């Protein structure tokens, strides 16, 4: 039973990412019939939609939109690539820039939470590890419970960020990127574009589950 549970957890963590990489690679083949690269499409959409102050950059930190710098950042393959994966990912990241301009509440909430979560997660992990020692030193009634509660609140912010991220990603993909792509890629490629966006979304679902289960793991450890 335990082995089955472990296998299930590993599947939840690993399979979405493996599947996403397979889908992205499958649609990364160069397309001579496409008029431009992912970077060129992103730049075109930004100008067409009047997203003032937004620029497109190549990065080695993974595809993302930086709301503070107002930059759509694409990996080398998607910035210079002329493929379905490249243009779909580019449209998705421009979707985030549109969300930002329109004041999309979940995106703004995520941006605020990320800064807090990065610090809170580190503090939470330290508190989780230090809780038994602090309790042993202080011997205060309820001292361990207080420390654990503080750690759970801090450490749980990572799970909260991932949960807030889900609607942000789905909106950027299916409410913004897909409608734009209909004007730039053949109709026969639309199922593939949806496939790419769905695969990427599943990686965030896996990350959300991982954060929640990681928090649960710490709680089980402290109960021993």
How far CA 161 is from CA of 6, 82, 105, in Å, comes to 25, 33, 14
Of the residues 32, 52, 57, 93, which is catalytic? Answer: 93
- The length of the chain is 224
The CA-CA-CA angle for residues 164, 169, 171, to 5°, reads 105
Q: Minimal CA–CA distance to 87: which of 100, 74, 104, 103?
A: 74
Q: Minimal CA–CA distance to 147: which of 130, 159, 164, 169?
A: 130
Q: Minimal CA–CA distance to 89: which of 106, 104, 77?
A: 77
Q: Is 93 a catalytic residue?
A: yes
Q: Characterise 75 by phi-psi region: left (phi > 0), alpha (psi -120 to 50), beta (else).
A: beta
Annotated catalytic residues are 93
């Amino acid at each position: 039973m335990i082995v089955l549970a472990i296998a299930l957890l590993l599947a939840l963590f690993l399979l979405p990412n493996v599947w996403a990489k397979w889908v992205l690679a499958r649609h990364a083949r160069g397309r001579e019939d496409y008029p431009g690269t992912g970077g060129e499409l992103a730049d075109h959409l930004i100008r067409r939609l009047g997203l003032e102050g937004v620029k497109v950059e190549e990065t080695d930190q993974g595809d993302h939109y930086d709301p503070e710098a107002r930059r759509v950042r694409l990996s080398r393959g998607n910035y210079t690539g002329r493929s379905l994966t490249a243009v779909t990912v580019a449209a998705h990241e421009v979707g985030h820039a549109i969300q930002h301009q329109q004041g999309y509440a979940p995106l703004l909430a995520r941006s605020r939470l990320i800064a807090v979560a990065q610090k809170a997660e580190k503090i939470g992990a330290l508190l989780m590890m230090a809780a038994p020692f602090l309790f042993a030193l202080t011997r205060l009634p309820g001292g361990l419970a207080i420390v654990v509660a503080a750690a759970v609140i801090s450490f749980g912010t990572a799970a909260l960020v991932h949960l807030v991220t889900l609607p942000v990603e789905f909106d950027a993909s299916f409410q913004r990127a897909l409608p734009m792509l209909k004007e730039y890629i053949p109709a026969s490629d639309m199922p593939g574009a949806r496939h790419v966006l769905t695969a990427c979304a599943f990686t965030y679902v896996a990350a959300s589950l991982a954060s929640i289960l990681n928090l649960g793991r710490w709680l089980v450890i402290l109960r021993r």
